[in-house]
């Protein structure tokens, strides 16, 4: 679970980018924090960089396959 201290600096938005699941080894469509929907592991990644593959860490196969879902993304102003 991603943690934060200053909630007033985050904005709730209903963007479909948060609904998509991404497979390991594909490019991250947005920079940000991604979470595996099955094991809960979180990573920070730059947009366009490759999401970690199945062997990115000790992912228990009993949790199911790794599926990355966007959790938080930054907005540049």
E-only strand ranges, the chain = 21-22, 32-36, 42-45, 68-72
What does the pLDDT average to over 47-60? 79
- Per the structure block, which two tokens stand in for 35? 């979470």
Parse the chain into domains and list their residue ranges: 31-77
Look at residue 57 and tell me whether its pLDDT is greater than 80.
no
Question: Tell me: the pLDDT tens digits for 12-38?
Answer: 999 999 999 999 999 999 999 999 999
- Per the structure block, which two tokens stand in for 51? 């999401």
């Amino acid at each position: 679970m991603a943690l934060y201290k200053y909630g007033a600096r985050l904005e709730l938005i209903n963007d479909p980018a948060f609904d998509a699941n991404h497979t390991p080894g594909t490019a991250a469509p947005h920079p940000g924090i991604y979470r595996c929907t099955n094991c809960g592991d979180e990573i920070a990644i730059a947009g366009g960089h490759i999401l970690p593959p199945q062997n990115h860490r000790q992912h228990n196969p009993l949790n199911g396959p790794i599926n990355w879902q966007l959790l938080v993304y930054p907005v540049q102003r």
